[in-house]
Each structure stands twice: as structure tokens, then as C-alpha cells.
């Protein structure tokens, strides 16, 4: 069985694209070999850990990241086109607030308890990049989490008692050991690393190489 660790942030558009590329790669491998099996483990990473918990206005985030007068439409055009190529219609113009993703990562770990973490990851991606939801708002993040089955007690525990935060921090420490500075980043069978939202074919080749090595 192939083990795939994925360091990712739910407010990273390239991570959303990378998720689609990985899904396509696994489909290719399954079609070629019905015996192919994989175990996927999503790891937390924060592109903007310095953001305050309540987040900031998206326009201020763009200015801080790219400079005064930066045109987000131009900056994100390449990302938008890359998203369309894998079937994602990202609506960057809908995004009003840039959230700190820490609590969302904790909620993903909570969802992992019932094997619904990947579903929640997908829903956070969609809520932010497709629907332009304000993921700095407790009630909106709570709704996304409750829609996949997380109960109110667990959600409140994440927000008010730092439930599951230790797992998020462990991932951050691990990412530093791997010298990861950007995401998505894939670690295949603890031996092969892939940086960035690489095409499905690159992921397929890396997995095949890992299987040969093992």
C-alpha cells in the first residue's frame, strides 16, 4: 500500500488544484492496476500563520502580500486558469475576508475521527474559493463543519478549548523538519517528495518509482 502524506492549507488555491491532480493520479493508477491501494494522510500547513484569528480584509491581505496597487485579478489569473483546467471555477472576486486557517485545520482533525476529514477539506476549499464564504465567521465555519457531521460540542471545543490544536502544531513542526516552505507538498512512502501542484502524470511517476524502490 502506498502511503501519501499531503501538507496543505485550505486557503491555498494551489492546494485545491493539487487535490484534483492527486485524485486524477490515483484514478489513473487504479485503472491500470485494480490491486493498487493508497493511504492518504492530510497534514496541516499555514501559509499565513501571522494573521490574527479574526482574519483581515482580502484587499489588505493582497496589499500586504503583493504591494500597494496590486491587481488581484492579474495576480490570480494564472491560478484561475489552472483551476479551470482541472474543473474548478474559482471566484477570487467573491472573497472579502482572508482567514487564519488554524481552527479549520483543527476541525479537519476532529473530522478525521470519523473518517470524514477529506470531505471537510473539500468543503472548506469549495466554501472559500468557489462560494466566497467568509471563513473568518464562526457561524459559517461551524456550518461547514456541522454539514459533514461534526457536533456542536466538538466544534465549540475546537474554538474555545483548542481541541485538536496539538495535532496541527505537530504537523507544523514536521513540515519544518522537511524544510517545507510552500504547499501543496506530497511525501510518498516517506521517501519521495513532490513540491507544488504538479500535474497528475508527475504524481503517477513518483508513486510508480516509490513502488519500484520498495
The mean pLDDT values, 10 residues at a time, for the chain of 214 residues are 97 98 97 93 96 94 83 83 97 96 98 97 98 98 98 98 98 96 96 96 96 84
CA distances from 85 to 24, 78, 162 (A): 12, 11, 38
pLDDT for residue 74: 78
* Rounded distance between C-alpha atoms, residue 111 and residue 149, angstroms: 8
pLDDT for residue 70: 66
What is 2-213's CATH topology? Glutaredoxin (3.40.30)
C-alpha cell at 82: 489552472
pLDDT for residue 206: 97
Sign for the CA dihedral angle at 28, 30, 34, 36 comes to positive
pLDDT for residue 214: 75
CA trace torsion 45, 46, 47, 53 (10° rounding): 170
* 66-99 pLDDT tens trace: 887 767 777 789 999 999 999 999 999 999 999 9
* Rounded distance between C-alpha atoms, residue 193 and residue 89, angstroms: 28
Amino acid at each position: 500500500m502506498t502511503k501519501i502524506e499531503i501538507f496543505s492549507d485550505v486557503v491555498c488555491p494551489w492546494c485545491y488544484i493539487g487535490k484534483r491532480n492527486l485524485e486524477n493520479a490515483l484514478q489513473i493508477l487504479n485503472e491500470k492496476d485494480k490491486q493498487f491501494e493508497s493511504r492518504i494522510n492530510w497534514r496541516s500547513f499555514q501559509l499565513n500563520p501571522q494573521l490574527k484569528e479574526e482574519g483581515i480584509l482580502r484587499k489588505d491581505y493582497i496589499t500586504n502580500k503583493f504591494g500597494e496597487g496590486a491587481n488581484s485579478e492579474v495576480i490570480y489569473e494564472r491560478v484561475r486558469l489552472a483551476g479551470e483546467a482541472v474543473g474548478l471555477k474559482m471566484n477570487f472576486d467573491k472573497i472579502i475576508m482572508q482567514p487564519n486557517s488554524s481552527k479549520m485545520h483543527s476541525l479537519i482533525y476532529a473530522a478525521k475521527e470519523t473518517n470524514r476529514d477529506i470531505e471537510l477539506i473539500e468543503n472548506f476549499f469549495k466554501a472559500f474559493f468557489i462560494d466566497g464564504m467568509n471563513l473568518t465567521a464562526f457561524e459559517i465555519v461551524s456550518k461547514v463543519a456541522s454539514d459533514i457531521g461534526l457536533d456542536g460540542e466538538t466544534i465549540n471545543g475546537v474554538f474555545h478549548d483548542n481541541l485538536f490544536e496539538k495535532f496541527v502544531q505537530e504537523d507544523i513542526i514536521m513540515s519544518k523538519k522537511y524544510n517545507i516552505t510552500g504547499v501543496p507538498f506530497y511525501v510518498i512512502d516517506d521517501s519521495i517528495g513532490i513540491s507544488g501542484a504538479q500535474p497528475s502524470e508527475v504524481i503517477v511517476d513518483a508513486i510508480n518509482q516509490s513502488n519500484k524502490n520498495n
